[in-house]
Amino acid sequence: MNKLKNKKGQAMVEFVLILPVFLLLLLGMVDLSRVISANFVLDNTARSAARIGVISNQDSDIIAAIESGTETLDSTSITYTITPGEGSRSSGDALAVEINYTVDILTPIVSNVLGNTIPISGKIVMRVE
């Protein structure tokens, strides 16, 4: 009868059963936080670059602002569009700066469901001064 009351291995079995679910949730939260962080960076960088562009009216200043604002991101996954291009902007025109980025998903099961990357973008439109 004493052998039936011995439950020393029960906690270990329960831990082994719940560990994969716990790790999946934890790694999913890490991936989600990476996507949200990159989205904030893109939005703020696009806003800063557009503001510099409407004041200076130089594409080189806009590109420098984009590069300095996205230093924390992988530069090989960043593309940007400046519309309209330099030389065709005048006072009162709309200047659009769009920055696109792809975030790599680290969690294996989530990447099988959503794909290996998630595309995000930041876009802002301002009037040239």
Query: Does residue 64 belong to any structural domain of this protein?
Result: yes
With cut-offs at 50, 70 and 90, classify the pLDDT of residue 5.
Answer: low
HSE on the CB side for 92, CA within 13 Å?
A: 0
Task: Give dist(CA 78, CA 74) in Å, integer.
Answer: 7
User: What tens digit of pLDDT does each residue of 25-59 get?
Assistant: 999 899 999 999 999 999 999 999 999 999 988 89
Query: Does residue 46 belong to any structural domain of this protein?
Result: yes
With cut-offs at 50, 70 and 90, classify the pLDDT of residue 61.
Answer: very high
Query: Does residue 5 belong to any structural domain of this protein?
Result: no
Query: Does residue 3 belong to any structural domain of this protein?
Result: no
Do 70 and 45 meet the contact criterion of CB atoms below 8 Å apart?
yes
Q: What is the dihedral of CA 66, 104, 119, 43, to 10 degrees?
A: -40
Q: Residue 92 sits in which domain range?
A: 10-127
Query: Does residue 2 belong to any structural domain of this protein?
Result: no
> How many structural domains does the chain have?
1
With cut-offs at 50, 70 and 90, classify the pLDDT of residue 7.
Answer: low
DSSP for 54-96, written as a single string: HHH--HHHHHHHHHHHTTTS-GGGEEEEEESPTTS--TT-EEE
pLDDT at 84: 87
Query: Does residue 83 belong to any structural domain of this protein?
Result: yes
User: What tens digit of pLDDT does each residue of 80-127 get?
Assistant: 999 988 778 888 889 999 999 999 998 888 778 888 899 999 999 999
Location of structure tokens 């806003």 = 47
Query: Does residue 4 belong to any structural domain of this protein?
Result: no
pLDDT at 11: 80
